[in-house]
Amino acid sequence: MKKCFFFISYFLLVSLHAQEIIPLYPGTAPGSENWTWEEKTVGANTGNAFVYNVTKPTMTYYRAPENIRTGAVMLVAPGGAFHILSTENEGTKVAEFLNTLGIDAFVLKYRLSRIHGQDPMQELFGLMSDFKKLDANNTPTVELATQDGIRALSMIHEISASKGFDTSKIGMMGFSAGATLTMSVLLSAEQKLKPAIIAPFYLYKPAVIGSIFPEKLTPMFIAVASDDGLKFVPHSIDLYNEWISKAQPTELHIYENGNHGFGMQPKGTASDQWPSDFKSWLKQRKWLE
């Protein structure tokens, strides 16, 4: 009897702390019905894991500790040129950081362009040698990924009452391609589903789709490193100028160093400051109350 009680208690404890993986669609995702290739993960639990060949989009729920929960929610979109997803450095670790602030988080696993070979990084680096060609290849995928992001926001709204979410505090943040996706979702979603705040990190702007500008003030936190190896700094500056020209509240951080893809991984560079700056920004927006 005692052994039975122990295993039941252990199961409940594990379940309490387990993350909830939520499929975005009840069956096959619309628009990719013929995608039959297998999703794969590389480097699991190394701090720099990534997945590729995603055909079944999901979002993973990370709930903040009950004693500090604010009711605010953030949808997090990892990056990877719409071919891979940096699920730990730009996903899980970001969600865990948000949880320490009392913010619930969902890490979005959105559909990706197919990797055909056995070495995903080598294939991706080859594609990135020509961004115009990469953009042309990615265009259909960006549209599907944007559908996934909008679907995720819709589902978050749907479960808000049962989860205790404040629907006025549902935001979205993303890194690199995830920042492209964040902006595409913002500019494509209907007004009632648009994120209340957004945070694009080292944005790639040319691939952004959508033209439905938010009717409400939508505060934006932009971050990039001056030594970004992909030369994305002008994209963040252009976005900043565009946003302030529309009288939207905007904050831009260009860190001296940190390169591209700094995410949550401490590097001993100026970019390590972004979590502190982001926390201060959220506090000013009254998201930590």
Q: How far apart are CA 148 and CA 53, in angstroms?
A: 15
The sign of the dihedral angle between the CA atoms of 270, 99, 112, 204 is: negative
| Structural tokens at position 43 | 């480097």
Amino acid symbol at 193: L
CATH of 20-284, one of 3.60.15.10, 3.40.50.1820, 3.40.430.10, 3.30.70.20: 3.40.50.1820
pLDDT value at residue 44: 75
For 173-207, write each residue's pLDDT tens digit. Answer: 999 999 999 999 999 999 999 999 999 999 999 99
Range list of β-strands (E), the chain? 20-23, 40-42, 50-52, 58-62, 73-77, 84-85, 104-109, 170-175, 198-201, 220-225, 250-255
Q: What is the number of H-type helices and E-type strands within the chain?
A: 8, 11
Q: Which residue, among 256, 266, 273, has the nearest Cα to 221 in the 3D structure?
A: 273
Question: Using one digit for the tens of pLDDT, what is the confidence trace for 215-259?
Answer: 999 999 999 999 999 999 999 999 999 999 999 999 999 999 999
Task: Tell me the mean pLDDT in the region 77-87.
Answer: 98
- Mean pLDDT across the stretch 22-39? 96
Q: Is 15 helix (H, G, I), strand (E, B) or coil?
A: helix
Strand partners, 58: 23, 109
User: How much of the chain exceeds pLDDT 70, in percent?
Assistant: 94
**Mean pLDDT for all residues in the chain:** 93
Phi-psi region of 286 (alpha: psi -120 to 50; beta: other; left: phi over 0): left
Q: What is the pLDDT of residue 43?
A: 83
Q: What is the 3-state secondary structure (H, E, C) of 143-193?
A: HHHHHHHHHHHHHHHHCHHHHCCCCCCEEEEEECHHHHHHHHHHHHCCHHH
Q: How confident is the model at residue 1 (pLDDT cuts 50, 70, 90)?
A: very low
pLDDT (0 to 100) of residue 162: 97
Read off the pLDDT of residues 155-176 as tens digits, 9 standing for 90 and up.
999 999 999 999 999 999 999 9
- The DSSP output letter for 270 is G
Residue 13 has pLDDT above 50, yes or no: no
What's the pLDDT at 16? 41
Instruction: Kindly report the pTM of this predicted structure.
Output: 0.93
Give 118's pLDDT tier (boundaries 50, 70, 90).
confident
